[in-house]
A and B are shown apart, each in its own frame.
Chain A
Amino acid sequence: MIRVNGLTKDYGARRAIDNLTFDAEQGEIVGFLGPNGAGKTTTMRILTGYMPPTDGTATVAGYDVVEESLEVRRRVGYLPETVPLYNDMTALEYLKFMASLRRIPDTEQRAYESLEAVNLEDRADSFIGTFSKGMRQRVGLAQALIHRPEVLILDEPTIGLDPAQIVEIRNVIREIGKDRTVLLSTHILSEAQHMCDRVLIINKGKIVTEDTPENLQSRLVGSQRVVLRVRGDSDGLNARITKVKGVRTVESKPDGSVEFEFGAGEDARPQVAKAVVQGGYELLEMRPVGMSLEEIFLELTRETSDDIKAS
């Protein structure tokens, strides 16, 4: 659905994206993850036909983004970073305007449908200028959905939303992602973890790595950390756990819990549990602490800056 090959964009002397190559298939939600200024928005702008690349090619739904820009635009729904809204229009008027620009038959019906998709149907006749940030974001999303695009490109779709709305929007996006292609950018990593089938980590205009969120996590985590909590006093617990085969480190936390670490290949949890119970402790909780995507992300982006320094 989306094919990007050697895409490069220069802003004057500064290279915003550098030889970017990736694909996104139909029915796939791809997350674009990177710090600010990594080139996420630039890539999305090129894919939507807003500006041409300096070098390289990109096709969306089989059409070249430069040569067949209008065909691409017809098939893409785009929510830019700054939500493009006319404050002097009502939500319905705005969506009808966008629907008519996209030559949709029965504009009013479709405008209502996309308002329903983002749960704003009861505010259809309110002026956009009176909307909260979350509502504006949702109107923007409704606009991107109105022509039922094959490809949806969303630049930070959940920014400014409250937690309940984030869940809602995630569900909407996941629903769409079942049979269409969604490319979304975010710098909130848990978001990529929740929504995306695949994550592209981009830093300084280059793709650092690309994988499923789960694989990323397991690939980078050499060891597993587990937090353990017992009722009452945990004195002497450390010594017991240390003796268990496979356990590398044990650490008492100030809140009374104990955190231990073992190698990824050797699951020491059953033995630890046994040792704890045999020691007369009442085991309340044992929970893995995954290396969060945040840490992976920092790790990866730091690696690339080191690489650059080294070269």
Chain B
Amino acid sequence: MRNIWIIAKREFDHYFISPIAYVVAFLILLTTGIIFAINIYYFIQNALQSFGQVPDISPITGAFGFLLVLSIPAVTMRTLADEARMGTLELLLTAPVRDFELVAGKWLGSFLFILTIVAVSLVYPIILNGLVSPGIDQQLVMSSI
């Protein structure tokens, strides 16, 4: 189990020095940010006619889900392919590490990276919560995480 964590940690650290991960994180957060801003603007414009409609985070979560479908392959496609290209796969496969520990470690590292992007996007519900009285639907936020 320790090996999984060691590999996951190296994978996770690696994301924060590779440009593609930043590009992906930037695009996801930019797109959701634009959607969020337009959404708030729309609600403010229509506040008077909106007949009790309350803004929630569903437009963001919808977009987020779609973006993840595109970005997860972009982020994870290189995890093993890059190792093979660099020759380091030979190193990992001849180290005293089981194959499943290697795969699980790689998966865990990528998962934690995506989780980090999701954690950053939590800023939207927090802002929204401050704008709306008496607060937004917290259950929807929890379930969308």
Contacts and interface: CB of A to CB of B under 8 A. Distances in A.
Given A80-B91, A97-B10, A101-B6, A88 B96 contact: no
A70 B6 contact: no
Given A97-B6, A143-B91, A85 B96 contact: no
B3 A101 contact: yes
A84 B96 contact: no
Nearest to B93: A50
A86 B13 CA distance: 12
Contacts of A80: 87, 90-91, 94
A10 B95 CA distance: 24
B95 A101 contact: yes
A143 B90 CA distance: 13
B88 A101 contact: no
B69 interface: no
A300 interface: no
B14 interface: yes
The size class of the interface chain A forms with chain B is 20 to 34
A48 interface: yes
B88 A76 contact: no
B10 to A, nearest CB: 6
B97 interface: yes
Given A88-B17, A101-B3, A73 B94 contact: yes
B18 A84 contact: no
Contact of A86 (B7, B86, B93): B86
Given A50-B94, A76-B94, A84 B10 contact: no
The size class of the interface chain B forms with chain A is 20 to 34
Interface in B79-128: 86-98
Given A97-B10, A101-B6, A84 B17 contact: no
B90 A101 contact: no
A73 B14 contact: no
A70 B102 CA distance: 13
A84 B14 contact: no
Contacts of B14: 86, 88
Given A84-B86, A86-B86, A88-B17, A78 B94 contact: yes
A218 interface: no
A76 B89 CA distance: 16
Given A88-B18, A101-B96, 20 more contacts: A45-B90, A50-B93, A70-B96, A70-B98, A73-B94, A73-B96, A74-B96, A80-B87, A80-B90, A80-B91, A84-B86, A84-B90, A85-B88, A86-B10, A86-B14, A86-B88, A97-B10, A98-B91, A101-B3, A103-B96
28 contacts: A48-B94, A49-B94, A50-B93, A70-B96, A70-B98, A73-B94, A73-B97, A76-B94, A78-B91, A78-B94, A80-B90, A80-B91, A80-B94, A84-B86, A84-B88, A84-B90, A84-B91, A86-B14, A86-B86, A86-B88, A88-B17, A88-B18, A97-B6, A98-B91, A98-B95, A101-B3, A101-B96, A102-B95
Interface of B: 2-3, 6-7, 10, 14, 17-18, 86-98
Smallest CB-CB A-B distances: 9 pairs? A84-B91, A82-B87, A84-B88, A48-B94, A73-B96, A74-B96, A84-B87, A80-B90, A88-B17
